[in-house]
Chain A
Amino acid sequence: MAGKKMLGLLLTNFQDSYIPELTTQRTFSSIPFGAKYRLIDFSLSNMVNSGVSKIGVVTKNNYLSLMDHIGSGKAWNLSRRRGGLTFLPPFENTGDKYNTFVQTIDAIRDFIEHSYEDYILVSSSMSVVNMDYQQMMSAHLKSNADITICYRTRPLSKNPTSEQIVFSLDKNSRVSEVLINPRNLDSADCMMNIGIVKKELLLDVVSDCVSRGKFDYARDVIQGIVKRYNVYGYEIKGYCSEIDSIQSYFKANMDLLDPDVREELFNMRNPIYTKVRDDMPTKYGLKSSVKNSLVSPGCVIEGEVENSIIFKGVHIAKGAKISNCIIMQDGVIGEDTTLNYVVCDKDVVVSPKRMLCGIDSYPVCISKKSIV
């Protein structure tokens, strides 16, 4: 295959605090999304579809659901002798080092050094996007960059859950300055957590930060490298959602009800892979009514559903009215229950004749295995 070989590194925990409602028992990366996926499926599938066949999944805690989801990597064709998928949880000597980006990369230095690939593709699971990393690699080589990082022009959040890192780019897309949480801008070129860098350079940057005791991602790493190296931006122009709060998570799910968004994200040439459970197709009962909704297999729907995302194995009983909801795997919604703007985590049971209602900007979250 043409193009330079990349080693994929997927960081799964750093965003856990963005959506505490859904990460008490899982990593950020394994948050269920879009009726049958988990957030990590997008970055993992993009890597596989871009010919990245050796991938390290770096995870620190709460990783049971992540490991269960990914398993041997078979669903992504990553269960293989050459390359394939490696889990990189902390072990005895590195356990306390997984707190920052710098320390994490330092802790998995052996894994990186032992790989044959010359380049590293680092990504979080924040971005819901279907993209070709080989094109990004071509841009990286063409611009002669040391480091290429994705960015997207978007409105800045007024109440950010994390630091917003903004690029100033010259006409060749070289990053000339990095601003952290700029106050006076409405819209800006915001950095995304997807980057390409030569293996040696990544290790050098990390060693340098470690030796100086500088562990701040935005200030020491990003602002640091922009001062010392040729850092280029790579613009993401098509559909892309970045998940950094329950609001953006909710909106990104609802975006999937738009056929154009689905067309961009789920084309059969670059499929988004996920672990599949052997469920029967979904059954719609007599007098059920479903409008503008995305539904996974294994459900039994006897009530009314509107503008909602329904994961596998959900049962919606007669007379129930579900609008603007996300109902995760194996949820049971009782007879004559009404839910509006509710996110039900996995295995939630809502008894008959209940009524729960959130609003657009603040959906009600019901935690895993709750009985309402």
Chain B
Amino acid sequence: MLPKQEVVAMLLAGGQGSRLGVLTRKMAKPAVPFGGKYRIIDFPLSNCTNSGIEAVGVLTQYQPLVLNDYLGNGQPWDLDNDNAGVHILSPYEQKDGANWYSGTANAIYQNINFIERYDPEYVLILSGDHIYKMDYAAMISYHEEHNADCTIAVIDVPLHQASRFGIMNTNPDGTIYEFEEKPAHPKSTNASMGIYVFSWDKLKKYLMLDAADPNSSNDFGKNVLPAMLANGERMIAYPFEGYWKDVGTIESLWEANMDLLDPKTKLDLSDKKHKIYSRNPMYPPHFVSDSAEIQNSMVADGCNVYGSLEFSMLFQGVTVKKGAVITDSILMPGVVVEEGARVSYTIVAENTVIGKNAVIGCRPEDVNNKEDWGIAVIGENLTIGEGAKVPPKAMIDEDIKGAN
């Protein structure tokens, strides 16, 4: 028998993240590189560690190889614990057949046995596509103090953006009386962050009911939470202040990376008390040459910078050769940019080579029709030929021959 854990965290990491296009062709969204050295999943995992949560289940389904490799035994997050630690929970075959996870609630339902081993009081449901730092222990205390059955973390969003989120309408005491999924005319600006604390006995009951309902799509937001609300369970909104960003789209992923370059950013990655942990591959320090110009950028280990960088993010082991100009762009691990290439407003995925004098993406002010502009994305392990041109907003998933 395992020692009891007061809290078990369940991290939903099975989604494809199709809006990230070529970036998630071969990996699940939580494994997408972020912030110069991290992957998205480092944020919820480090939050767990920093909040004293020791048992974490990671629910995987779509393209799990990179993610499984990355998690390993959980050691980088101090989650290599004989009694608890991180566990990868993929769909499995049962006596009456095999089922994929049909929805977020179903993924938890199929792993009730995993949760019960720890005999927890609370279950924390997290998703693998948000960038934020949060003390989950404070949220769980809030849940306890308010005698709640379910506590949902909410963040105040600008009114004009509220119709993009799930909005929680609350009474003055913080109890939720209504959910509205992407309302056209939002009544409040409390957006759900997709972070839920449940009292385990209540969650278990509603997961069973949900599984027995053939018409349910087995989703927390669409089915389980509305069912609990309809039955009068005590549901509380937990207001969160701080940096939080959904990085489910190319634009938001790019923006969140750029946010880190802002000297006034609310997401402080240098705070020693709440570090974001990650797997750290063994590269030498980065080198900045005589010919380099670096302005307002972030550079990780193992990079060699001979060209110029402006408002850009270089992951580990990137080489930018002489005369290359990188502006407002994100170069993921192992990318090589050859001499004279210009890369603007672009995300380049791992190990891709940008040929000499190639021109990738452009500034918004350089296009006539604003509809034609967007962040360009180049997939992983590609070769973009010498002098090739890639227009803004393009999503490239195969090699491009040189212009000559």
Contacts and interface: CB of A to CB of B under 8 A. Distances in A.
A289 B294 CA distance: 7
Contacts of A300: 270
A292 B295 contact: no
Given A281-B300, A281-B314, A297-B301, A286 B295 contact: yes
A295 B296 contact: no
Interface string B73-115: 0010000000000000000000000000000000000000000
A298 B270 contact: yes
B287 A262 contact: yes
Interface in A271-329: 271-274, 276, 278-298, 300, 310, 313
B155 to A, nearest CB: 23
A190 to B, nearest CB: 27
Interface string A47-74: 0000000000000000000000000001
A278 B275 contact: yes
A284 B300 contact: no
B280 interface: yes
Given A281-B298, A285-B296, A35 B285 contact: yes
A295 B278 contact: no
A284 B284 contact: no
Contacts of B293: 289
B280 A278 contact: yes
A152 to B, nearest CB: 23
Interface in B221-265: 260-261, 263
Contacts of A266: 283-284
A172 B120 CA distance: 71
Contact of A294 (B278, B282, B286, B292): B286
Residue of A35, A284, A289 with most chain B CB atoms under a 10 A cut-off: A284
B289 interface: yes
Contacts of B313: 281
A273 B282 contact: yes
Given A280-B298, A281-B299, A284-B298, A294 B287 contact: yes
Interface residues of A, number: 38
Contact of A295 (B260, B263, B280, B285): B285
Contacts, number: 101
Contact of B285 (A34, A280, A285, A291): A34
A283 B259 CA distance: 12
A313 B288 CA distance: 17
Contacts of B381: none
A36 interface: yes
B383 interface: no
A295 B284 contact: no
Contact of B284 (A272, A289, A290, A298): A272
A297 B282 contact: no
B163 to A, nearest CB: 34
Nearest to B263: A285
A35 B299 CA distance: 15
Q: Which label, helix, strand, loop or mixed, suits the secondary structure of the B interface? A: loop
Greatest chain B CB density within 10 A among A276, A293, A297 is at A297
B296 A284 contact: yes
Nearest to A267: B284
B290 interface: yes
Contacts of A286: 295-296
B403 interface: no
A278 B277 contact: yes
Given A278-B276, A290-B294, A295 B282 contact: no
Nearest to B298: A281
Contact of B298 (A35, A283, A287, A296): A283
B68 interface: no
Given A266-B284, A291-B290, A295-B288, A284 B297 contact: yes
A86 B37 CA distance: 32
B285 A294 contact: yes
A284 B276 contact: no
Contacts of A259: 287, 304
A283 B261 contact: yes
Given A276-B280, A280-B35, A280-B36, A295 B286 contact: yes
B269 interface: yes
Contacts of B260: 280
A257 B36 CA distance: 23
A328 B299 CA distance: 18
B323 to A, nearest CB: 16
A293 B288 contact: yes
A34 B292 CA distance: 20
A290 B275 CA distance: 27
Given A272-B284, A278-B280, A297-B285, 6 more contacts: A262-B284, A278-B278, A281-B315, A291-B292, A295-B287, A295-B299
23 contacts: A36-B284, A262-B287, A265-B284, A266-B284, A271-B282, A272-B282, A272-B284, A279-B270, A280-B36, A280-B270, A282-B300, A284-B294, A284-B298, A288-B294, A290-B292, A291-B288, A292-B288, A292-B289, A294-B285, A295-B285, A295-B287, A296-B286, A300-B270
Interface of A: 34-36, 74, 257, 259, 262, 265-266, 271-274, 276, 278-298, 300, 310, 313
The 9 tightest CB contacts between A and B, nearest first, are A281-B36, A280-B269, A35-B285, A266-B284, A281-B300, A276-B280, A284-B294, A281-B298, A271-B282
